[in-house]
Each structure stands twice: as structure tokens, then as C-alpha cells.
């Protein structure tokens, strides 16, 4: 019994020293569709046109610039048909920076994006990975869906309703 307890204590100590317990215990605050809509300055439906990673001016962080060809603007101003969003992380010249809970984009992917302006006026994804929703075509029905239980049309109606409620408050 003593040997087993020693092994458990040793494993616990190793996990604590490596910071593993911190990452396991960390919790992500989930935002509702209404919260995402309220917080966002812009909500658009579109297609990812380009993705380009690069260093910030100080060469201390890597940022990825994502251009989205806008099909429909649900909130705010969708620009001149294109919205540019910056996300933290990416890879430049073999150097990579990875952040958990950050929205990941794929070229030519159909998406709904909730974005807010930072202090510099650049758009950033609202709510981390929750602020970017991939659109998929349902094979059996042909409907464009954002999740198993929600069509794109249902999501758009919910966002438009949340915008209306926000404007009347």
C-alpha cells in the first residue's frame, strides 16, 4: 500500500511541476450566440479568401491575417465586400506560435464570423474559437448547416434578432 501511495504522490508532483494540472483545470468561458452578437462589432457570412501569417512590427509575436469575401453582413459594416481579421499565432519561416481556443481558418471555407475591433481598430474574432463557425452542406437535405441542430438560416435569424434587441435597448 505504501509503494502505491508513493507512486501516486510522485506522479502528482511531476504533473504539478510540468504545469499539466493547470492546463487540465483551466476552464474556457463559453459565450451564447446573443453574447457573441452583442460583443461583436461585425458579424458576416462569407468565404475565406486568403490566410497569411507574419510577424508583428516588434517581431515579438506572429499574427495571421485572414481575408473573408463577404456574402452577407448580419451586423455592422462588412467593408467593400471583404473583411480582414487578425488572429494570434501562425507560422513564419519555420517558427510557429500556437494558441489554444483561437479560431482556425481554412482557405475557401464557408464561415460565419463574429469580430470586434481592438484598440488599434483591427478586427479580431470575438470569443476565440466560438466566434468562427464553419458552414457545411448537409448531404441528405442539401441545407447549409452550422451545427448538427442548426441551419445557417436559423443562425442568421438568431443573430438578426439579437441585433434588433441590442438596438432597441
To which residue does cell 475591433 refer?
117
pLDDT at 82: 94
Q: Are 56 and 63 in contact (CB under 8 A)?
A: yes
Pick the CATH number of 31-168 from 2.40.50.120, 1.10.30.50, 2.60.40.10, 3.90.226.10: 2.40.50.120
- Between CA 88 and CA 77 the distance in angstroms is 23
Confidence grade of residue 29 (pLDDT, cut at 50, 70, 90):
low
Q: Are 88 and 63 in contact (CB under 8 A)?
A: yes
Predicted TM-score (pTM) of this structure: 0.79
> What mean pLDDT is predicted for residues 51-58?
94
**What value does the mean pLDDT of the chain take?**
84
Cell of 122: 483591427
Under DSSP, is residue 33 helix (H, G, I), strand (E, B) or coil?
A: helix
Chain segment 93-151, per-residue pLDDT in tens: 889 888 888 999 999 999 999 999 999 999 999 999 999 999 999 888 888 999 878 99
> What mean pLDDT is predicted for residues 41-64?
95
Chain segment 60-92, per-residue pLDDT in tens: 999 999 999 999 999 998 767 999 999 999 999
- Between CA 16 and CA 150 the distance in angstroms is 41
Domain residue ranges in the chain: 1-29, 31-168
Which candidate, 169, 168, 143, places its Cα nearest to that of 156? 143
Under DSSP, is residue 88 helix (H, G, I), strand (E, B) or coil?
A: strand
Amino acid at each position: 500500500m505504501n509503494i502505491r501511495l508513493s507512486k501516486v504522490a510522485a506522479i502528482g508532483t511531476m504533473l504539478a511541476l510540468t504545469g499539466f494540472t493547470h492546463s487540465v483545470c483551466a476552464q474556457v468561458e463559453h459565450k451564447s450566440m446573443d453574447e457573441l452578437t452583442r460583443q461583436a462589432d461585425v458579424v458576416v457570412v462569407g468565404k475565406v479568401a486568403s490566410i497569411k501569417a507574419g510577424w508583428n512590427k516588434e517581431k515579438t509575436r506572429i499574427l495571421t491575417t485572414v481575408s473573408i469575401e463577404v456574402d452577407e453582413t448580419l451586423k455592422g459594416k462588412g467593408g467593400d465586400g471583404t473583411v480582414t481579421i487578425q488572429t494570434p499565432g501562425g507560422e513564419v519561416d519555420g517558427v510557429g506560435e500556437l494558441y489554444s481556443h483561437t479560431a482556425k481558418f481554412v482557405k475557401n471555407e464557408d464561415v460565419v464570423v463574429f469580430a470586434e475591433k481592438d484598440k488599434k481598430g483591427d478586427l479580431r474574432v470575438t470569443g476565440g474559437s466560438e466566434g468562427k463557425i464553419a458552414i457545411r452542406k448537409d448531404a441528405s437535405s442539401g441545407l447549409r448547416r452550422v451545427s448538427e441542430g442548426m441551419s445557417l438560416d436559423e443562425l442568421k435569424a438568431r443573430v438578426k434578432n439579437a441585433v434588433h434587441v441590442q438596438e432597441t435597448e
